[in-house]
Structure 1
Amino acid sequence: MERTIIVGDVHGCYKELTYLLKTIAYKPSDRLIFVGDLIARGPDSLGVLKLVREIGALVVRGNHEEKLLLWRTSQEDSNDYNSKSVELLPMHLAIAQALTEEDWMWMHSFPLWYALPEHELLVVHAGLVPGITLACQDRKVLLSIRGLTEEKKPCYNKNHSQWWGRAYKGPPHIVFGHNAFFEPQFHPWATGIDTACVYGGMLTAMVLQKEQVIPRGQAVKKLLISQSSMGVYYPY
């Protein structure tokens, strides 16, 4: 294994992903990890899934993958009186209806986090609540947190008093996506790499050399490589 490459939210931006992989000269000997939300909103979610699966990359589960998996479970349990029906938006439903049984099994295997102790970092989709052990984090937090309320409770929209990453004190360093901005988020112990590709921004990857310990704060910039979006596929 030569390098560890962590890619931000792709959201169906297949062309941008292929160009980014060429720019960083991805090789099969590299370890490739995605922060989740491979799908939805962009032009080619199925193409992204096919490419990532063929590469054999690791994918941390995002909230959009979670939506499809919850829908799938509700369909399987449709005869259960106590089961709750899950409704999908048309863009999610189109993807769900096109997936094969092997696709579903693969997506179900996506973990909620991935630890990289040799780099002293942890990859999650959205983040975590500071001061709570990883094992005790609520599933919704890992998939959807954006910030904290004044009472330090998780907040899932942008109307909060503080970004969770600003309040988090590691180790480990957290690399996350979900909270899209047109520039990376740099906090002392957390780095956000969802740089809004599907909204016309960039697709960003963090590239770490073998056993390289991730630096803190703004020093992370030197590890990031981005590919500009080729269009605005979804309103920001």
Structure 2
Amino acid sequence: MKYDIIGDIHGCYQELLQLIARLGYEKQGDVFIHPENRKLAFVGDAMDRGPESLNVLRLLFALQDAGILYYSPGNHCNKLFRYFKGNDVQLTHGLEVTVDEWQQLHKPERQQFRKRYIHFYEQLPHYQQLENDLIVAHAGLKAEMIGKPLSKGIAVFVLYGDITGRFHADGRPVRRDWAKSYRGQKWVVYGHTPTAEPYFVNRTVNIDTGCVFGGSLTAFRFPEKEIVSVPSLQPYQPDRFHIYS
């Protein structure tokens, strides 16, 4: 099977449609199908911060209903799930944008959407193992974690990365660059940390190229290991991009 793995979307629905078209997919009903039977996959964080989170999610719901969704949930996905379940979560870091969009719906549609999202999230694996040599995990996955029974440590790692316990001034956690020490044979495709260009190191690639911050929306084609991107339609925020050292 061949895959087109798409980085963090964060509500950038128009860019998503452009990228899917550039990758050669054709709309059939509510979903997109590739004439060569390629499959779309996603590193998570479909929502928050951007202008059309609900439309992105509606497309993912349709892919799930059709049995062709390959999606690895991120920390923003988890936070929206906890919010919809009634947990006490802070409406910050872009969740407030999604919630405001959701609250614009009429009440019956609002409740239907909430239930559909809960169902969507509960069906998702913590990360995707696609083929024998491809892993898709939101914030990454260490080689020694692959295939192991799910633990709290693995669950936290795939959502947040290799966090240190320290925080930046704006509240974002300080993360280690786990990929530098990755020595696994499987490719790990991830996102979570916005960077100006796809970040390749060892057999890993970070494809969150900060679309919602004015960068681009990126896909990694596997097994070709090619990059396809479309430019963002959002305002450019240079301070939001991580620089690997």
Shared fold (TM-score, shorter chain, > 0.5): yes
Asked if 1:91 corresponds to 2:97, the answer is yes
Task: Give yes or no for the alignment of 1:229 onto 2:229.
Answer: no
Q: Distance in 1 between matches of 2:79 and 2:91?
A: 8
Q: Are the equivalent residues in 2 in contact too, given 1:7–1:205 (CA < 8 A)?
A: yes
Partner of 1:113: 127
2:210 and 2:160 mapped to 1: Cα distance? 16
Tell me how far 1:72 sits from its aligned partner: 2.7
> 2:73 — aligned with what?
61
Q: Following superposition of structure 1 onto structure 2, how do residues 110-149 of structure 1 map, counting pairs within 5 Å?
A: 110-118=124-132, 120-129=133-142, 131-133=144-146, 134-135=148-149, 136=151, 137-146=153-162
2:138 alignment partner AA: H
- The offset of 1:131, in angstroms, is 4.0
- Cα distance 1:18–1:86, how it changes in 2: closer, same or farther (>3 A)? same
Task: Supply the distance in 2 between the matched residues of 1:109 and 1:143 (Cα, whole angstroms).
Answer: 16
Separation in 2 of the partners of 1:100 and 1:157?
A: 28
Conservation of the 8 A alpha-carbon contact between 2:141 and 2:157: yes
**TM-score (norm: length of structure 2):** 0.75
1:52-73 per-position Cα deviation (integer Å, ceiling 9, x unaligned): 3224432211100100112233
User: How far is the alpha carbon of 1:96 from its aligned partner?
Assistant: 5.7
Please report how far the alpha carbon of residue 191 of structure 1 lies from its aligned counterpart in structure 2 after TM superposition. Answer: 0.7
Alignment gaps of 5+ in structure 2 = 27-32, 104-109, 166-171, 241-245
Compute the displacement of 1:181 (Å).
0.5
Q: How many residues get paired?
A: 206
Q: Equivalent residue of 1:59, what SS?
A: coil
**Alignment identity in percent?**
31
Question: Contact between 1:68 and 1:96, CA under 8 Å: does it hold in 2?
Answer: no
Letter in 2 for 1:228: P
- What's the secondary structure of 2:80's corresponding residue? helix
Cα distance change of structure 1 residues 165 and 110 upon mapping to structure 2, 3 Å threshold: same
Q: What residue is the counterpart of 2:50 in the other structure? A: 42
Q: What is the deviation of 1:174?
A: 0.6
CA contact (8 A) 2:145 2:154 kept: no
Question: SS of the counterpart of 2:229?
Answer: strand
Q: Report the equivalent of 2:59.
A: 51
* CA deviation vs aligned residue, 1:61-104 (integer Å, no higher than 9, x gap): 1100100112233x2xxxxxxxx633333224335654342232
Which whole-Å CA distance do the structure 1 matches of 2:11 and 2:182 have between them? 30
Residues 100/8 of structure 1: CA separation in 2 closer, same or farther (3 Å cut): same
Which consecutive residues of structure 1, in runs of 5 or more, have no partner in the other structure? 76-83, 150-155, 215-219
CA RMSD of aligned residues (A): 2.5
Which one of the candidate residues 220, 229, 241 is aligned to 1:206? 220
* TM-score between both structures, scaled by the size of structure 1: 0.77
In structure 2, the residue matched to 1:4 is: 3
